Amino acid sequence: MTLSLDASVLIDLLRRRDAESVQRFSDAVLASIEMVVSALVLHEIHTGLTDRAPDRRLLQLEILLAQCMLADFTAVDSKASGRLRAHLWERGTPIGELDTLIAGQALARGWTVVTRNVRHFGRVEGLRLIDWAEGSEPLTADRIAQRLAEKS
């Protein structure tokens, strides 16, 4: 299983906001689990690095990224994301543009997205999700439905 780290998780790791997420990231590194960060997620992170210590945050980000592979967004990813966007709009359940691209890329490549943003990514049929705040295993369809209902 390849884990695709979303911006919400990277932010938690950078800020050390959630001890469970930090521990699960460390466990994944020690277990040599393949982790990727999409260039799209990296864009989100760089956009948000405007706090009082951006140089320190950039160094922390480099250290985290050293444990992951960086994935460019390809034409195949674009095609999958376009189909996903159309499907979500047809169902009346669109999500943010970047999240649609990230989810489409993960679907195209068979990745499991590690995120706290189940509200958006949980709307994507067939996308495997993990929320490290809850555990290291993919969320079940029932748990995703429950999380979506909690946010309504």
pTM of the entire predicted model = 0.93
- Show pLDDT as tens, one digit a residue, over the chain (152 residues): 999 999 999 999 988 888 999 999 999 999 999 999 999 999 999 887 766 667 888 888 999 999 999 999 999 999 999 999 999 999 999 999 999 999 999 999 999 999 999 999 999 999 999 999 999 999 999 999 999 998 65
Domains of the chain: 3-151 (3.40.50.1010)
Determine the distance from the C-alpha atom of residue 43 to the mean position of all C-alpha atoms in its chain, rounded to a whole number.
13
For residue 103, what is the enclosing H or E element? Answer: helix 97-109
Contacts of 20 (CB under 8 A, 6+ apart): 132, 133, 134
Identify any residues that bridge with 36 across adjacent strands, giving them in sequence order: 4, 69
Angle CA 137–88–11, to nearest 5: 45
By C-alpha distance, which of 10, 6, 11, 18 is closest to 117?
A: 6
- Helix axis angle for 7-15 and 19-30, nearest 10°, is 100
